[in-house]
Amino acid sequence: MIVRDFHELKTGPRAVSDAQWTSVRMLLADDGMGFSFHITTLAAGSTHTFHYKHHFESVYCISGRGAITDLATGETHEIRPGVMYALNLHDHHTLRADEELVMACCFNPPVTGTEVHRADGSYAPAEELAPADG
């Protein structure tokens, strides 16, 4: 059994940040669960465009307010606590945080921890990456 505490991990190497978001990797590929699980915090007033061409991702809103736009259809959905979106079509999307958003995210295949967002908003598929550093 693995037991981890977000509040301990958020100041350590499992917290990956850029200026506008922090993702705490609660589970990564090397945990052997077949998915990764992240708690991601997006700064109030920020917008993010992602396109996970090689991953499925589900995102559940724990706290905060915002919106997600499906860039294929132009449709926008309100994000508030209890709303989940799932990128079952590897959907190209823009997430807007009107308030700070705290989101519970699952990735399949699991993120290894070494990915960076590429210019096209994707993460590389796992076979293009070095082994996970945890």
The footprint of a copy of itself (CB under 8 A) covers 1-7, 26-27, 31-35, 37, 39, 56, 58, 60, 62, 68, 70, 77, 82-89, 91, 93, 104, 106, 108-109
Where do we find the tokens 């294929």? 72
Looking at beta carbons only, is 8 or 120 nearer to a copy of itself?
Answer: 8
Looking at beta carbons only, is 19 or 25 nearer to a copy of itself?
Answer: 25
Looking at beta carbons only, is 77 or 118 nearer to a copy of itself?
Answer: 77
CB of 118 to a copy of itself, least distance (A): 21
Closest to 123 measured CA to CA, from 4, 38, 9, 1: 38
Cα distances from 30 to residues 24, 35, 94, 115, in angstroms, run: 15, 10, 29, 14
Output DSSP code: residue 8: H
Looking at beta carbons only, is 17 or 63 nearer to a copy of itself?
Answer: 63
What does the angle CA 35 – CA 70 – CA 38 come to, to the nearest 5 degrees?
25
Structure token digits, residue 7: 């509040």
CB of 76 to a copy of itself, least distance (A): 10
Which residues, listed in sequence order, are joined to residue 58 by a DSSP beta bridge?
Answer: 86, 106
CB of 12 to a copy of itself, least distance (A): 14
